[in-house]
Structure 1
Amino acid sequence: MRPRTRLPRALQGQVFHVQSGAARGVSDKRMRGRDLQRPFRGVRVDGPLDTLRDRCAALSKVLGPQHFFSHVTAAELWRMPLPTRSGDLHVTAVGGRGKIRRPGVVGWERVDGEMPTFELAGVPVLGPADVWCQLSTQLSREWLVAVGDFLISGERTDLGRRPPLCTAEQLAEAVGRHGTRRGSKALRWALGMLRHPVDSPRESLLRLALIAGGLPEPEVQLEVETAARVRHGDLGYRDAKLIIEYQGDEHRVSRARWLQDLTRVQLLEDAGYRVILVGADDLRDGARALIARIRRILASDD
């Protein structure tokens, strides 16, 4: 068997359009080689195509200047927390021209209105505030709040909190641009429920469940002076000296995180606070059992 012809150095390990390959002397037969992936018509990939960013980079080779990634695809590129992931790529065309129609791609179009875009990981992406507005047709209003809290809080990492992707004012401006389109009612409701800083979407969902259950709204990241510097509870009622801590899977699988949590809970309790640890099961059925428990504690403090 004859060895495959090597690609030109400029194309090795790259995503490229077939026209670019032809211009560099790559034959049609070579571009049909099994070692090259063909995720979209007219596109070849010399290398893995494992991540969303890889797929977006491949599709971008056949997009026009009027196209950009939007909706849940843009949300994932911005690292927004979502309840589920979409397998298809979402692309919007502005100006009422060039709505994309390809397998594995959901095409949208926007005839009028400002749509600020950014280059992110080398591809055009709608700005985070406007992506949030688009999500109003794809998420529940509670999850819309959770994503909004993330946007104005910044992602929490082991090294600290990243800068917020946008401000509450920028989200309000985007809601204004969205106008009366579908999802506008949910957006206006969610805008009034945003809080910061919030560390996880489950904290947002827990806060909303407590409010929906008739409890007073708890403080987010309640600040407590402990024997070992200031600590923060996820949610809390200062007057009742009650803190509610949401424990996600990362608290269970990371030994370092588990030990940190133990120390933090002990410090909070030594400072005179009662700490309730909450998991995913506590949010089922509208968190009724948890709400009843918190209501009893708050009533006993009156």
Structure 2
Amino acid sequence: MDLDEPFRGSRAIAAGLTTRRRLRGPGFRELGRDTCVAASATVDDRMRIVAAALELPGAVVGGWSAVVVYGVDAVPGGERPIELVVGPRHLRRARAGKVLRQDVLGEHEVELVDGVPVTSPLRTALDLGSRGPHVEGVIAVDALAHAFGFGPAELLDVPVRRDNPRGRRRLVAVVGDADARAESPPETRTRLLLRGADGIPEPIPQLVVCDDGGRFVGRVDLGWRGLRTALEYQGDHHRVDKAQWRRDAVRSTELAAAGWLVLPITAHDLFVDPWGFLLRLRIALARRARELAVPSS
């Protein structure tokens, strides 16, 4: 038993690894009912989720909490309660910061991650794609499909032991907009913003760029091959991380040398001024089409 990971205090005592008095001392931190961790351990969201699962034997980590346990960087910002899936006859109420979702899971829908039962990637994607905002559902499906190598359309064939027509309709819409090639939530948000925008052709995610001699130059977040134009998301780490900033500068120069125009998109464009960004992009693509004498759409 690793005391630097969440553990049941009663089990550690029974195994002779500690005593109840020591558990109450400065060497350990209480995470929940009968769940502790060494005080020297860094407590993060994943650790809190694992502790919550240990606190409720038989529960399965699900929803966005499962995404965290799998280590997939896709969870939208903001405080989210820990989600645990329990049987339909479970009567215990959830404590603060936790949500108990009654559902029926088949054996194929549960996996052990470091000893913690978690809804399988497919089932997690199905659940998140069947409820909540459309964009968040697409982000979840994109991220899990990319990380675990399944096609979003496979979700429509996953057998589940419940009937949820409303969730099914929502899932069909999410799958229709999903693309496993996306490598980050901002890429997914950008693709959804561009989809259907007047005057803007649909870009190719993770487009491979080669020079005129066929030499590999790079892979861009989104791109239009005919227009030789790339759209790259610029997060804060691109600005504050000097090594990343240098890599971006070299990469942009290499793409420019291959005849490609690189356009940035930021969080401000996505969340604050999306319509202004679309206007600017529409103008830039039209001008690029005139420069290259190719159709803009």
TM-score by length of 1: 0.78
Letter of the structure 2 residue corresponding to residue 206 of structure 1:
T
Aligned-pair CA distance for 1:53: 3.4
Contact 1:57–1:122 at 8 Å: present in 2 too? no
Letter of the structure 2 residue corresponding to residue 240 of structure 1:
L
Query: Using a 3 Å threshold, how does the CA distance of structure 1 residues 172 and 255 change in structure 2: closer, same or farther?
Result: farther
Query: Using a 3 Å threshold, how does the CA distance of structure 1 residues 102 and 290 change in structure 2: closer, same or farther?
Result: closer
Query: Using a 3 Å threshold, how does the CA distance of structure 1 residues 204 and 12 change in structure 2: closer, same or farther?
Result: closer
Q: Summarize the alignment of residues 90-169 of structure 1 with structure 2, pairs less than 5 Å apart.
A: 90-97=83-90, 101-111=94-104, 116-136=109-129, 139-154=132-147, 164=148, 166-169=150-153
Q: Distance in 1 between matches of 2:4 and 2:262?
A: 53
Residues 66-95 of structure 1: per-residue CA shift (max 9 Å, x gap): x21112211211233121254532111135
Q: Distance in 2 between matches of 1:195 and 1:178?
A: 26
Query: Using a 3 Å threshold, how does the CA distance of structure 1 residues 180 and 45 change in structure 2: closer, same or farther?
Result: same
Matched residue, 1:201: 185
Contact 2:60–2:119 at 8 Å: present in 1 too? yes
Aligned-pair CA distance for 1:139: 4.3
Aligned-pair CA distance for 1:170: 3.8
Matched residue, 1:89: 82
Q: Summarize the alignment of residues 67-86 of structure 1 with structure 2, pairs less than 5 Å apart.
A: 67-80=59-72, 81-86=74-79
Query: Using a 3 Å threshold, how does the CA distance of structure 1 residues 268 and 139 change in structure 2: closer, same or farther?
Result: farther
Query: Using a 3 Å threshold, how does the CA distance of structure 1 residues 90 and 51 change in structure 2: closer, same or farther?
Result: same
Query: Using a 3 Å threshold, how does the CA distance of structure 1 residues 113 and 99 change in structure 2: closer, same or farther?
Result: farther
Aligned-pair CA distance for 1:133: 2.6
Aligned-pair CA distance for 1:205: 0.7
Query: Using a 3 Å threshold, how does the CA distance of structure 1 residues 268 and 34 change in structure 2: closer, same or farther?
Result: closer
- Of 214, 225, 231, which residue of structure 1 is paired with 2:210? 225
Letter of the structure 2 residue corresponding to residue 270 of structure 1:
A
Letter of the structure 2 residue corresponding to residue 94 of structure 1:
G
1:277 maps to 2:264: yes
Helix, strand or coil: the match of 1:37? strand
Q: Distance in 1 between matches of 2:14 and 2:129?
A: 43
Residues 93-136 of structure 1: per-residue CA shift (max 9 Å, x gap): 13533555334321111147676111112211111222223224
1:180 maps to 2:164: yes
1:247 maps to 2:240: no
Q: Distance in 2 between matches of 1:51 and 1:92?
A: 21
1:266 maps to 2:272: no
Question: Identity of paired residues, percent?
Answer: 26
Structure 1: gaps of 5 or more residues: 1-9, 155-163
Matched residue, 2:277: 290
Query: Using a 3 Å threshold, how does the CA distance of structure 1 residues 96 and 239 change in structure 2: closer, same or farther?
Result: same
Q: Distance in 2 between matches of 1:295 and 1:202?
A: 19
Residues 254-287 of structure 1: per-residue CA shift (max 9 Å, x gap): 2222222122222222222222122112224562
Query: Using a 3 Å threshold, how does the CA distance of structure 1 residues 17 and 83 change in structure 2: closer, same or farther?
Result: same
Q: Distance in 2 between matches of 1:232 and 1:291?
A: 23
Matched residue, 1:58: 51
Q: Distance in 2 between matches of 1:27 and 1:19?
A: 10
Q: Distance in 2 between matches of 1:13 and 1:112?
A: 30
Contact 2:131–2:170 at 8 Å: present in 1 too? no
Letter of the structure 2 residue corresponding to residue 200 of structure 1:
S
Q: Distance in 2 between matches of 1:174 and 1:56?
A: 26
Letter of the structure 1 residue corresponding to residue 282 of structure 2:
R
Letter of the structure 2 residue corresponding to residue 267 of structure 1:
E
Q: Distance in 1 between matches of 2:104 and 2:174?
A: 26
Query: Using a 3 Å threshold, how does the CA distance of structure 1 residues 222 and 288 change in structure 2: closer, same or farther?
Result: same
Query: Using a 3 Å threshold, how does the CA distance of structure 1 residues 288 and 121 change in structure 2: closer, same or farther?
Result: same
Contact 1:220–1:234 at 8 Å: present in 2 too? yes
Letter of the structure 2 residue corresponding to residue 265 of structure 1:
S
Letter of the structure 1 residue corresponding to residue 238 of structure 2:
H
TM-score by length of 2: 0.79
Letter of the structure 1 residue corresponding to residue 185 of structure 2:
P
Contact 2:153–2:175 at 8 Å: present in 1 too? no
CA RMSD after TM alignment: 3.2
Tell which deviates more after alignment, 131-140 or 120-129: 131-140
Letter of the structure 1 residue corresponding to residue 94 of structure 2:
R
Q: Distance in 2 between matches of 1:283 and 1:57?
A: 33
Alignment length (residue pairs)? 283
